[in-house]
Copies of this chain bind each other. A is one copy, B any other.
Amino acid sequence: MQTTLEFDQVFSALADATRRDIVRRAMDAGEGVAELASHYPMSFAAVQKHVAILERAGLVTKRRIGRRKVVRTNMAGLLVARRLLDQYEELWRGRIDRMTELVTEPKESNP
């Protein structure tokens, strides 16, 4: 089961446009941190921090290849977020069903 901390980390990690773009880019993995950094209008260190945040949240992994560390997104991490949303959707559906039930099965018999 997911801990609240896990949810906090995943959602706050995704709450930044640069990080969302890194996640997207790191799907076709092959780029190291420096290569990733070249796409954004900020310092290398800033991007390196973003990657670290994504890594702590379990959204990407880093693997050493030669002198670089290649960043690759971890689908399992994204699924953590999705599971919460699915859970909400299920609750929502349940609520709708209960309302429908009230309407189609009234207390008294109908004409």
Contact = CB atoms under 8 A, between A and B. Distances in A.
A23 B78 contact: no
B17 A4 contact: yes
A27 B85 contact: no
Contact of A7 (B20, B81, B95): B20
A8 B4 contact: no
Contact of A11 (B11, B24, B28, B82): B11
Interface string A76-93: 001001101100110110
A9 B8 CA distance: 14
Contacts of A95: 27-28
Interface string A5-40: 001100110111100100110011000000000000
